[in-house]
């Protein structure tokens, strides 16, 4: 009797492993899982490095604009994303402007061990070519008085704040000894310094809460290559500084701040 051609064809279908009854290889399944995880990690790294990153506010230096416990989304593309572990940044589509809140890598801070160059967020108050000075705690930009970011300072915070400090000595390099704004003080202090001329590709950053902010007055001007991005909005916030509950990130959420845009 002639062989059944259809039956023979059906019996030969499938891979040798399938015909052996083994089904899909466990190693192949593991490999597919690893590829999926690697792809997800790659997408995360690209987004976090080039497009958007998250940042947490750890101090009150930017009150009332930003509060302790705010979590921000930061636009890293706007000024040009920085390539990690290098000194190179890709081109952005805008340059920092005076008055913007900016995320940046701090100049070296010898007294900030173990993180000597922390990532910070402050307001940019001085651009290249600007002349800045402060008298009795009031900031002047090109001779025009600027509104204090946090209104009237706490008198307790002001006590002793204007004492001379060697940390301000970096300013002597940028001081204008002859200008229409008067001579700089012999020893710069917290509330009385300048006039300073901001050089090319550098910015001056101050906190809105001037008496609770360690900023450019202490550690100097920020180079353009240190700029990392512009905060977009608050995506999460909780009372991290004044809560008496054990799990404030769950029980003391500031619902009203979620979605707040940063200006």
Burial 181-201 (b: 16+ CB within 10 A, else e): beebbeebebbbbbbbebeee
Backbone angles phi, psi at 208, to 5 degrees: -65, -35
Spatial contact of 77 and 83, defined as CB atoms under 8 Å apart: no
Two tokens at 16? 């040798």
- Is residue 122 part of the annotated active site? The answer reads yes
**Bridge partners, residue 144, by sequence:** 141
**Residues found in the chain:** 263
Antiparallel, parallel or unpaired: β 227-237 and 101-105: antiparallel
Q: Which of 25, 35, 36, 61 is catalytic?
A: 61
Note if 76 is an active site residue. no
Which tokens go with 186?
């012999």
Candidates 76, 122, 216, 237; catalytic one: 122
The pair phi, psi for residue 178, each rounded to 5°, is -130, 110
- Residues serving a catalytic function are 61, 122
């Amino acid at each position: 009797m002639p062989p059944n051609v259809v039956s023979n064809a059906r019996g030969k279908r499938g891979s040798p492993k399938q015909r052996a009854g083994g089904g899909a290889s466990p190693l192949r399944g593991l490999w597919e899982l690893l590829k999926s995880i690697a792809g997800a990690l790659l997408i995360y790294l690209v987004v976090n490095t080039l497009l958007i990153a998250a940042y947490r506010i750890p101090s009150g230096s930017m009150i009332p604009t930003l509060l302790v416990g705010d979590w921000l989304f930061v636009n890293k593309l706007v000024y040009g994303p920085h390539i990690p572990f290098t000194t190179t940044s890709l081109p952005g589509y805008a340059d920092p402007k005076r008055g913007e809140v900016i995320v940046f890598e701090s100049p070296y801070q010898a007294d900030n061990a173990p993180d000597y160059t922390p990532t910070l967020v402050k307001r940019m108050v001085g651009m290249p070519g600007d002349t800045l000075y402060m008298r009795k705690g009031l900031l002047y930009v090109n001779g025009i008085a600027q509104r204090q970011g946090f209104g009237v300072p706490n008198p307790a915070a002001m006590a002793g704040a204007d004492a001379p400090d060697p940390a301000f000595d970096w300013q002597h390099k940028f001081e204008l000894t002859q200008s229409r704004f008067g001579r700089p003080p012999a020893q710069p202090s917290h509330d009385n310094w300048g006039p300073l001329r901001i050089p090319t590709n550098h910015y001056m950053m101050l906190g809105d809460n001037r008496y609770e902010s360690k900023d450019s007055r202490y550690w100097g001007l920020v180079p353009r290559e240190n700029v990392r991005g512009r905060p977009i909005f608050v995506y999460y916030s909780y009372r991290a500084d004044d809560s008496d509950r054990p799990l404030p990130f769950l029980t003391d959420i500031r619902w009203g701040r979620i979605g707040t845009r940063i200006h």
